[in-house]
Chains A and B, each alone.
Chain A
Amino acid sequence: MRTRAHQNARAAVTPPAILDRLRAADPRRYVVYAGFALIMVVFSITLRDSGFLTTPNLVHIVQQTAPITVMAVGLVLVLTAGEIDLSIGSVVALSALVAGVMLRDYDSMPLAVAASLAVGAGVGLFNGLFVTRVRVPSFLVTLATLGLVAGLARVMTNLQSVPITHEYFNGLFGSGSMAGISTLVLWSAAAVAVGHYVYRHTRFGAHVLAVGDNARAARVSGVKVERVKVAVLVISGLCAALAGLLYAGRLHGATYTLGETDMLTVIAAVIVGGNRLFGGSGTVVGALVGSLVMGVLNNGLILGGLSVSQQMIARGVIILVAVALTLREEKA
């Protein structure tokens, strides 16, 4: 009898399930796709003589955006859990420098990569434990670690850049390619694919959503709320460390200024991509598109011949418009 009820319910639920999904689909989630298409069209027309719509330029955009995309994936998890991570930009510099110094002193790529990722995970763990044990909001904790880690990066090599001559490292994390596809593109794709799977299809992802949505409900349902918060901050640190490796590999060297301005770009990318700033829902794929929007804007404004200061103003205006559009639904 139970099984029959079960089957009936199933038969009844299948067709409306699709309708439900369409109805529940969040319009602001899709604003970013329309916006992305619009920007592409505008740039394709206005910049048609500057080589905007050429394959090398488009690949270049995706490569340039790779570190932002990787960090955006981590930040989607952090924001969804109702926290924020402002320390990512400084982790980029420290992890790149650690990798550079390890390669210079020990010439071992596994050691360099492991050390760099350990730096990212370590900063994330520190952030997470401070947020959950000392109960300081992540905004303040990660603001403090932002300065702390940036300072460490400066002290570490006494403001000196570290060149990286390890060819295999530079190939794997920067200029190389596999099966004709740039490794930077592959790293972005991998980060987005893994991030999307974890976010949408694992128990951990479900717990991240629940914690950001209603932490008390999650706790009384047996979700280890503190552990989830520590985990998302560790993941964010790891993503920032990987971004640092990607910068180091692409530039064949590391310096303390790497990633300095990335934190705001990543936050903008994630929000423009249709993620909530206050937790409980989000989209990894949207964050990828948001980060591509940032990359295309950057590229188009440079090709358009705007000066650096004009670029900053234009980018600010466009981000404001995009964020206003994506957040408009929020109040409803």
Chain B
Amino acid sequence: MSTTATPSAAPALRLDRIRKEFGGVVAVENFSLDIHPGQIVALVGDNGAGKSTIVKIVSGVHHPTSGSIALHGDQVHFPDASAARGHGIEVVYQDLALADMQPVYMNMFLGRELVTGPLRRLDKKRMASQTQALVDELDVRIPSARATIRELSGGQRQGVAIARATHWATSLVLMDEPTAALGVAETARAEQLMRQLRERGRAILLVSHNLDQVFRVADRIAVLRRGAQIGVRETAKTTHNEIVSMITGLQPADEA
């Protein structure tokens, strides 16, 4: 994969006419979307609209039946989730996917641990100090990088999950209902982290049921209904009502 292409020219992620069938059932049809670096695009739609399917296709869990995925202008194909990760795509899950009994720094480096010396000994000191530097920089307020996850609050855990995605995602962060389990103040912190990620030039695809949140953080909003793309709107040029009527089907799909 070439990294010389200027990121501003090509979108970090381009989905082109993605179609996904499970058996005979069409879960997603003809979905296209560009996300540029430093942009947050929200994906909204009712339950079963195909949001999760899109996330799973981009993270390499599902393969599109047809259509193509390009990162920074280069067409890619993900045989599995680790291939997607290898291309700098990270996912923040609703349930966070953290190992509760392990320290923060081991979660940060899980699957990509740093080792040192001929015996390939875990470099816990370096992992802990890099983790501490990262959480300090993102202002994720946790007692210490060596604290175990279960000592942390829900918001702190989400902070750790987002910090981990920030650390490893070179091109794209997928967030699947990242604040569904959080309180008001904690949600605000997580949204602040999303903005920080955007400032760092990451492209973010945010799946959320919370339209208020979508309007607070997203630059653009893509609406799905029953697997079909209804339209993409710039947040500044649309209204709550328009998005709701797109989701519910009061407003027909844009002409493709």
Interface segment, one of B17-25, B114-122, B182-190, B233-241? B114-122
When C-beta atoms are compared, the residue in chain A nearest to B95 turns out to be A216
Q: Quick check: B122 and A203 within 8 Å, CB to CB?
A: yes
Determine which of B93, B96, B107, B128 lies in contact with A13 in the assembled complex, contact meaning CB atoms within 8 Å: B128
Q: Quick check: B97 and A12 within 8 Å, CB to CB?
A: no
Q: How far is the CB of B60 from chain A (nearest CB, A)?
A: 11
Q: How many residues on B have C-beta within 8 angstroms of the other chain's C-beta atoms?
A: 38
Determine which of A5, A16, A20, A220 lies in contact with B93 in the assembled complex, contact meaning CB atoms within 8 Å: A220
Interface segment, one of A206-214, A229-237, A255-263, A319-327? A206-214
Which residues of B in the span 231-255 have a Cβ within 8 Å of any Cβ on A?
Answer: none
Interface string of A2-16 (1 = CB under 8 A from B): 100110111011001
Q: Quick check: B129 and A218 within 8 Å, CB to CB?
A: no
The complex places the Cα of A206 from the Cα of B111 at a distance, in Å, of 9
Q: How far is the CB of A218 from chain B (nearest CB, A)?
A: 7
Q: Quick check: B111 and A13 within 8 Å, CB to CB?
A: no
**Is residue A24 within 8 Å, beta carbon to beta carbon, of the partner chain?**
yes
With a cutoff of 8 Å between Cβ atoms, the chain B residues found around residue A207 in the complex are: 111
Q: Quick check: B132 and A214 within 8 Å, CB to CB?
A: no
**Is residue A148 within 8 Å, beta carbon to beta carbon, of the partner chain?**
no
- For the residues of A in contact with B, the DSSP-based class is helix
Determine which of A21, A201, A210 lies in contact with B110 in the assembled complex, contact meaning CB atoms within 8 Å: A210
With a cutoff of 8 Å between Cβ atoms, the chain A residues found around residue B133 in the complex are: 2, 5-6, 9-10
Determine which of A21, A24, A209 lies in contact with B99 in the assembled complex, contact meaning CB atoms within 8 Å: A209
When C-beta atoms are compared, the residue in chain A nearest to B132 turns out to be A9
Q: How many residues on A have C-beta within 8 angstroms of the other chain's C-beta atoms?
A: 34
With a cutoff of 8 Å between Cβ atoms, the chain A residues found around residue B115 in the complex are: 202-203
With a cutoff of 8 Å between Cβ atoms, the chain B residues found around residue A2 in the complex are: 133
Q: How far is the CB of B149 from chain A (nearest CB, A)?
A: 9
Q: Quick check: B111 and A218 within 8 Å, CB to CB?
A: yes
Residues of A within 8 A of B (CB): 2, 5-6, 8-10, 12-13, 16-17, 20-21, 24, 197, 200-203, 205-207, 209-210, 213-214, 216-218, 220-223, 280-281
What 17 additional pairs, Cβ within 8 angstroms, besides A20-B144, A24-B151, A222-B85? A2-B133, A5-B133, A5-B137, A6-B129, A6-B133, A9-B136, A16-B144, A17-B128, A200-B122, A201-B122, A206-B110, A209-B101, A217-B97, A220-B97, A221-B110, A223-B110, A281-B101
